[in-house]
Structure 1
Amino acid sequence: MLKIIAILFLCLPCLLPANSKISLDVVCGRNEPTIRFPFHIRTLHQEQCGYPGFDVFCDGMNRTIIELPNMGNFSIQGIDYVDQQVWLNDPENCLPKKILSLNLSGSPFAGVYYHNFSFFNCSSDYRGYGPKPIACVSSDAFSIFATPLRGVHLSHLLRQQCRYIKTVAVPVQLPFFVHELSSDLSEDLRLTWNTPRCGRCTSRGSRCSLKANSKDEIECIDIPRQEVPRAARYAVTFGALVPALLCLIGLVCFVSGKVKSSSSRCPDLPSVSRLPPLPPSPRVPLGLRSSIVNSYPWIVLGESMRLPKPDDTACPICLSEYRPKDALRTIPECDHCFHATCVDEWLRLNSSCPVCRKCPAPQTGV
């Protein structure tokens, strides 16, 4: 079913009017730039859908490639159709090699901003200050440098056993040079085109196209807000409703199957009214009544510190040593001694001795 829906959506462009002059937007792959007039892909667009010199193609890695005269292939990194600018780089990841033979005279493109870079070939043991070698054009025997420096800095490089190669006007990203000493020249080349002039047409939401029976004259076509053909609406509606209906039927069948399997596994499940009563919860013992606690013997220590048990020198509850004038209380059943305030609070919450856990015998008539 998903395949049917995909086919229906792919067929929607085929339902557009056959006499439309506007070419469809296409891409070579994910995250690749959108291709429209004046660019066109040879295998996807007809010849009249593009302008001369703007032929591009998709390579085996789904990259968008344009071939410039005398310079070879470049990968298109981005396109601005309003400002008429394009960003190019080397698909082989060695842009400086192409810059050394840069020649845009045979293409429709030119740099937006230029900056002169001087190339030098230096010995491999060169360790002077300044630019770093360009790895993809250097070797173990020599190092290639590119620098925007001039004057005394160039003469310094020449004195350091470096051979001057050439100076190239490189199309850079910004109108000023932002690097301190050098650049590896790996950033995209920022180029523009003046012909055809479609920026103003594109900025107002229209599209450029070649005029009929012309190879270089263009016209600006307003994109009509055409209603989707009835056949396309029926196709989309059918493709959306059928899967939803099938999902609903499958969900109902799944739920009913679960209910039946549950009832078959438990045929003799008793009803709530026939379940045996729960046993009463065990009674949690509470502490002793205050009258019982107050009946236990207690003393006030004098200066002689005569304790009921000489070894009991500290209260087992608060772990503080007994001092003169402390009030002590003793549990009769075990003769364990405590601070009266400590054991009174304990026995109100617990009915056993905090040391031996022996429960005092109940006293009647108290």
Structure 2
Amino acid sequence: MVIILFHLLLVLTTSVEVVGLGQAPADGDDCQPKSCKHDQPPVRYPFRLRGRQHDRCGAYGFDLSCNNKNQTVFHLPTSVKLMVKHIDYVKQRIQVFDEMGCVQKQLPNLTLSASPFLFMSDYYYYSDPENFTLFKCLVDDQFVDYNYYRSIACLSGTGFSVQYVDSDQNPSSSLLNCSKIMDVFDVPAGLMSQINNFYLTWSRPVCGFSCEAHGHGCRPNSTNNLGIECYYIHREDKGLRKRLMISGVIIGSFLLALSVAGLCWLHHLHRKEKAGERRIEEFLENYKALKPSRYSYADIRRITNQFKEKLGQGGYGTVFKGILSNDVTVAVKVLNNFKGNGEEFINEVGSMGRIHHVNVTRLVGFCADGYNRALVYEYLPNESLEKFIFAANGAENRFLSWDKLQDIALGIARGIEYLHQGCEQRILHFDIKPHNILLDENFNPKISDFGLAKLCSKEQSAVSMTAARGTMGYIAPEVLSRNFGNVSYKSDVYSFGMLLLEMVGGRKNIDVNVGNISQVYFPEWVYDRLDKGEELGIKIEDEGHSKIAKKLTIVGLWCIQWYPVDRPSMKTVVQWLEEEAENLTMPPNPFASKDEMKPKMPINRELATISE
């Protein structure tokens, strides 16, 4: 009896709340106030909720939406998305913030003048739009005039600071050791400061003072569609609401008199049930975010717009550009139907489905629909590292600065270290090369293509292989012949070393087209020069850049030692790349022909199967 009456009270209370929405417009349920979930701001005119309310329910430029976590998202021109914290319909302002805590990252896309909103700070001061220029400066740069420059912490990083200055100012000599990043236009000055929680206000439509302040709703004029009109709560709704409230109080008093102990017991049970539901929902939400989605082949065709835009083609399939339903751009790799036994597909999904690191490409989803198989990755606009380091004239015509090359090398090393030590199971990639290093819009490196990867426990010192795997020129000696040792995580260290040396030389390590025959095999040639105390023989004008090139070369030579036991771990490699070149010692000569146990580097490209 107590349970039935308690639930009746809950039903009546809910009914009271629903009737209280009598302020909703009378032109259909699709314009009633809605929200993404119970703790999110209610959405009503002049705003509208995409997918849940009709276009006529809101004014132009007042679009909101719900993300996959049912949080309210505010859309501004062009492609700027902010999270909504609160909407004050009376004072006509909306409180927003950037989900990642750095609204300055979205400033290049912000065009506030194309929207009906103005920027307002926490102290309700308006801020006129201006033009700014962003610079990257060293943090220990004593020449930077910090009266001219102001720092943006969330855009800065280790060893550098991002500063901004008004575009119409002339910073003169203070730019001597800073590099310009970009110009941003038509941005409120207040948004350049270290804020992430701010207000946007609107002046039209004028609903706050006219309607909302008097407890009335607001909507477009229903007669001529010009201006707005207020609408009232009907008296019969108020009477019904009052009667239901009285009934609820009576039943509540009866229940309280009947059994206070029973209500407490039910309340305790209800809280436990809700807590359990919340734990399950949180787990499912987190699991959904970590686990790649499964798509049908029809979904893949829709995502790629019938395979319209081709990005590239490799030995295992073709890559197309695609767009998910939430406007996220992806790269879809459609695997060849009749090539292999599905091992690459299983490796990719099995390995990448458990990897979450800034320097590893994220697997968004996959398709296994009959004979049709595809992998959906995050889209990286700058493609692979290969096209930037193998320039037409080698290192003399490189597209990336030496500072950026050092950052890329460190990012790749951290990614490989994560694969070796950061996952529950150690992941050996076996195909580290420039083609498999992708670059995002900021040239941050991400390791991709896990088709040849193997998983093993962290305690396992060696792995079993029945056949060699990898790309010639990057395969470790022990993968080709067990005379050099067992295959282990040190095989990836060797491949990384070969990649480092190609980054320094700006060319393939084996290049038969060079003029001097001694330069055909770059690693041996560059070791000889360093061993004799000579310069690298690469055209570098800046002394600081020469140190970077020398450091990358020494680390690379350590990594390509013939025997795995002589190579450092990736954890040690990361530490070396973070140090200065003067702190590094030259490794033993891996090309010394006097040691008969160390054969010269094989240049043949035949890859024979190795039986065990």
TM-score category (smaller protein): 0.5 to 0.7
Provide the C-alpha distance between the structure 2 equivalents of 1:165 and 1:252, rounded to a whole number of angstroms: 67
Provide the C-alpha distance between the structure 2 equivalents of 1:40 and 1:80, rounded to a whole number of angstroms: 15
Q: Taking structure 1 as reference, are residues 9 and 163 closer, same or farther at Cα in structure 2, changes over 3 Å only?
A: same
Provide the C-alpha distance between the structure 2 equivalents of 1:161 and 1:54, rounded to a whole number of angstroms: 40
Provide the C-alpha distance between the structure 2 equivalents of 1:51 and 1:231, rounded to a whole number of angstroms: 32
Please state if 1:226 is matched with 2:235.
yes
User: By how many angstroms is 1:48 displaced?
Assistant: 3.6
Which amino acid counterpart does residue 58 of structure 2 have in structure 1?
G
Q: Taking structure 1 as reference, are residues 151 and 96 closer, same or farther at Cα in structure 2, changes over 3 Å only?
A: same
- Secondary structure of 1:52's match? coil
- Secondary structure of 2:205's match? coil
Provide the C-alpha distance between the structure 1 equivalents of 2:260 and 2:176, rounded to a whole number of angstroms: 82
Which amino acid counterpart does residue 161 of structure 2 have in structure 1?
S
- Secondary structure of 1:113's match? coil
Q: Which has the higher helix share?
A: 2
Aligned 8 A contact 2:45 2:58 in 1 = yes
Aligned 8 A contact 1:79 1:85 in 2 = yes
Please state if 1:113 is matched with 2:127.
yes
User: By how many angstroms is 1:64 displaced?
Assistant: 2.4
Give the structure, 1 or 2, with the largest relative contact order (CA under 8 Å, sep 6 or more). Answer: 1
Aligned match for 1:53, one of 61, 64, 87: 61
Aligned match for 1:136, one of 129, 154, 177: 154
Equivalent residue for 1:192? 201
Alignment of 1:38-117 (within 5 A): 38-42=46-50, 45-111=53-119, 112-114=126-128, 116=130, 117=132
Q: Taking structure 1 as reference, are residues 31 and 4 closer, same or farther at Cα in structure 2, changes over 3 Å only?
A: same
User: By how many angstroms is 1:242 displaced?
Assistant: 2.4
Aligned match for 2:9, one of 5, 10, 13: 5
Please state if 1:207 is matched with 2:217.
yes
User: By how many angstroms is 1:189 displaced?
Assistant: 5.0
Please state if 1:155 is matched with 2:172.
yes
Provide the C-alpha distance between the structure 1 equivalents of 2:104 and 2:197, rounded to a whole number of angstroms: 11
User: By how many angstroms is 1:103 displaced?
Assistant: 1.6
User: By how many angstroms is 1:208 displaced?
Assistant: 2.2
Aligned 8 A contact 1:66 1:73 in 2 = yes
- Secondary structure of 2:251's match? helix
Q: Deviations over 1:264-323 (max 9, x none)?
A: xxxxxxxxxxxxxxxxxxxxxxxxxxxxxxxxxxxxxxxxxxxxxxxxxxxxxxxxxxxx
Provide the C-alpha distance between the structure 2 equivalents of 1:126 and 1:203, rounded to a whole number of angstroms: 54
User: By how many angstroms is 1:140 displaced?
Assistant: 4.1
User: By how many angstroms is 1:142 displaced?
Assistant: 4.6
Aligned 8 A contact 1:115 1:171 in 2 = yes
Which amino acid counterpart does residue 128 of structure 2 have in structure 1?
Y
Which amino acid counterpart does residue 20 of structure 1 have in structure 2?
A
Aligned 8 A contact 1:171 1:190 in 2 = no
Alignment of 1:348-359 (within 5 A): none
Aligned 8 A contact 1:56 1:64 in 2 = yes
Which amino acid counterpart does residue 176 of structure 2 have in structure 1?
R
Which amino acid counterpart does residue 136 of structure 1 have in structure 2?
C
Aligned 8 A contact 1:132 1:145 in 2 = yes
Alignment of 1:257-336 (within 5 A): none
Provide the C-alpha distance between the structure 2 equivalents of 1:252 and 1:200, rounded to a whole number of angstroms: 49
Equivalent residue for 1:364? none
Which amino acid counterpart does residue 170 of structure 1 have in structure 2?
V
Unaligned runs of 5+ in 2: 120-125, 263-612
Which amino acid counterpart does residue 134 of structure 1 have in structure 2?
I
Provide the C-alpha distance between the structure 2 equivalents of 1:62 and 1:98, rounded to a whole number of angstroms: 22
Aligned match for 1:241, one of 250, 273, 285: 250
- Secondary structure of 1:166's match? strand
Provide the C-alpha distance between the structure 1 equivalents of 2:92 and 2:156, rounded to a whole number of angstroms: 35
Alignment of 1:249-260 (within 5 A): 249-250=258-259
User: By how many angstroms is 1:39 displaced?
Assistant: 0.9
Aligned 8 A contact 1:76 1:87 in 2 = yes
Provide the C-alpha distance between the structure 1 equivalents of 2:238 and 2:92, rounded to a whole number of angstroms: 34
Equivalent residue for 2:44? 36
Q: Taking structure 1 as reference, are residues 31 and 145 closer, same or farther at Cα in structure 2, changes over 3 Å only?
A: farther
User: By how many angstroms is 1:236 displaced?
Assistant: 3.2
Q: Taking structure 1 as reference, are residues 140 and 240 closer, same or farther at Cα in structure 2, changes over 3 Å only?
A: same
Which amino acid counterpart does residue 162 of structure 2 have in structure 1?
I
- What TM-score results when the alignment is normalised by the length of structure 1? 0.52
User: By how many angstroms is 1:93 displaced?
Assistant: 1.5
Equivalent residue for 1:146? 164
Provide the C-alpha distance between the structure 2 equivalents of 1:146 and 1:252, rounded to a whole number of angstroms: 64
Alignment of 1:178-189 (within 5 A): 184-188=193-197
**Number of equivalenced pairs:** 243
- Secondary structure of 2:259's match? helix
Q: Deviations over 1:84-135 (max 9, x none)?
A: 3334332222111111332235433344422534321224653545256434
Equivalent residue for 2:379? none
- What TM-score results when the alignment is normalised by the length of structure 2? 0.34
Unaligned runs of 5+ in 1: 175-182, 254-366
- Secondary structure of 2:255's match? helix
Q: Which has the larger radius of gyration?
A: 1
Aligned 8 A contact 1:88 1:189 in 2 = yes
Equivalent residue for 2:292? none
Which amino acid counterpart does residue 154 of structure 2 have in structure 1?
C
- Secondary structure of 1:134's match? strand
Equivalent residue for 2:26? 20
Provide the C-alpha distance between the structure 2 equivalents of 1:120 and 1:19, rounded to a whole number of angstroms: 51
